[in-house]
């Protein structure tokens, strides 16, 4: 609280890492986890002749290197008592089994933060502009200590810090607290145009309903079974359903579960669903194909005849 909002954001992200994200409980090791990470791990080594031998090495740390092999990440590790020439890339599955889950989260966090750091340099001017974009004037963003800010101004600082690295998903816990009417309107407008995902925890039903016209309510019935009930603006929901159907109809390609891109071909109309103009056009195409000596498939013949 002894820093200005501008100083706070530059301090928090000064090395490309989010200092506050790295000290969360989900990133901090317990004593049991520390003890497990000190246990030796079994590695298989191959010599020039293809002979396999097993060794036990203790992992000192994850260096921060990460690469993707097929669908899994591998992380570079350094071993106790060995120099960097002995570093190896180990799969996430093995590291998770050996108790290095939180170490991998730290690396993932740093990689994500560094990717965002290239988009906006961490300078006094850029941070000042960023704070102004969330409604905090230069007087309060650069020249006033955070201890002297009001509750609403502190909320703006928190939102500005959360958005600094341009996240894909933002989680807001009671974001309407301490905000005045103008600020609430600005926040609602920002959420509407934000292209990423937003998860919001709030007791302000009016604010939430304005942003979420459709609500899925999971509620347990008298028989003890929870069912999903959909409620909201019926006109808006009907319009969105039509848009979704039209969008799906216009799809030219899709990606399956294995990541393969599949071309989506538009289904041909049967003859009884064609207009007169479409029938004439189909007949011309058929005659042209026959004139060129090309074969006509059964499905095409059914459509044209």
Average pLDDT (204-232) is 79
Q: What is the pLDDT of residue 96?
A: 93
pLDDT at 55 over 80: yes
pLDDT at 123 over 50: yes
Higher pLDDT: 105 or 209? It is 105
Q: What is the pLDDT of residue 28?
A: 82
Angle between helical axes of 151-163 and 181-193 (0-180°, round to 10): 10
pLDDT at 189 over 80: yes
For residue 156, give both structure tokens. Answer: 């703006």
For residue 289, give both structure tokens. Answer: 């194909």
pLDDT-wise least confident of 7-21, 62-76, 145-159, 237-251: 237-251
Average pLDDT (38-53) is 88
Average pLDDT (217-227) is 81
- Give the 3-state secondary structure of residue 161: helix
Torsion sign across C-alpha atoms 282, 288, 291, 295: negative
- Give the 3-state secondary structure of residue 172: strand
From CA 150, how far away is CA 168, in angstroms rounded? 29
Average pLDDT (29-40) is 91
List the Cα angle 145/127/137 in 5-degree steps: 55
For residue 226, give both structure tokens. Answer: 């929870």
Average pLDDT (240-264) is 56
Q: What is the pLDDT of residues 79-98, one digit of tens each?
A: 999 998 999 999 999 999 99
Distance, first Cα to last Cα, the chain: 80
- Give the 3-state secondary structure of residue 51: coil
Q: What is the pLDDT of residue 25?
A: 73
pLDDT band at 257 (very low <50, low <70, confident <90, very high): very low
pLDDT over 70 for what percent of the chain? 80
For residue 283, give both structure tokens. Answer: 């007949």
- Give the 3-state secondary structure of residue 18: coil
pLDDT at 70 over 60: yes
- Give the 3-state secondary structure of residue 269: coil
pLDDT band at 262 (very low <50, low <70, confident <90, very high): low
pLDDT at 242 over 90: no
Q: What is the mean pLDDT of the chain?
A: 81
Average pLDDT (267-295) is 71
Q: Are 59 and 36 in contact (CB under 8 A)?
A: no
Higher pLDDT: 7 or 24? It is 7
């Amino acid at each position: 609280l002894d820093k200005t909002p501008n100083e706070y954001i530059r301090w928090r992200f000064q090395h490309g890492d989010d200092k506050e994200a790295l000290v969360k409980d989900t990133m901090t090791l317990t004593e049991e986890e520390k003890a497990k990470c000190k246990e030796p791990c079994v590695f298989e080594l191959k010599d020039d002749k293809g002979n396999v031998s097993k060794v036990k090495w203790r992992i000192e740390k994850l260096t921060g290197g990460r690469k993707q092999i097929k669908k899994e990440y591998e992380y570079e590790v350094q071993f106790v008592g060995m120099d960097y020439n002995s570093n190896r890339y180990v799969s996430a599955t093995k590291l998770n089994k050996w108790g290095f889950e939180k170490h991998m989260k730290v690396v993932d966090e740093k990689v994500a933060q560094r990717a965002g750091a290239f988009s906006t340099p961490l300078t006094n001017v850029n941070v000042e502009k960023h704070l102004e974009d969330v409604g905090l004037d230069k007087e309060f963003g650069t020249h006033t200590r955070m201890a002297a800010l009001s509750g609403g101004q502190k909320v703006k600082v928190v939102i500005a810090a959360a958005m600094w690295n341009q996240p894909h998903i933002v989680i807001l816990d009671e974001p309407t607290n301490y905000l005045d009417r103008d600020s609430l309107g600005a926040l609602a407008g920002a959420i509407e145009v934000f292209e990423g995902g937003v998860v919001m925890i709030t007791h302000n039903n009016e604010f939430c309903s304005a942003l979420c016209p459709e609500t899925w309510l999971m509620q347990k019935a008298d028989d003890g079974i929870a069912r999903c009930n959909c409620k909201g603006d019926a006109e808006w929901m009907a319009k969105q359903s039509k848009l979704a159907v039209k969008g799906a109809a216009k799809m030219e390609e899709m990606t399956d579960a294995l990541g393969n891109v599949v071309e989506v071909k538009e289904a041909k109309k049967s003859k009884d669903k064609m207009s007169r103009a479409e029938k004439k056009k189909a007949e011309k195409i058929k005659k042209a194909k026959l004139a060129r000596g090309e074969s006509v498939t059964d499905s095409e013949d059914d459509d044209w005849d």
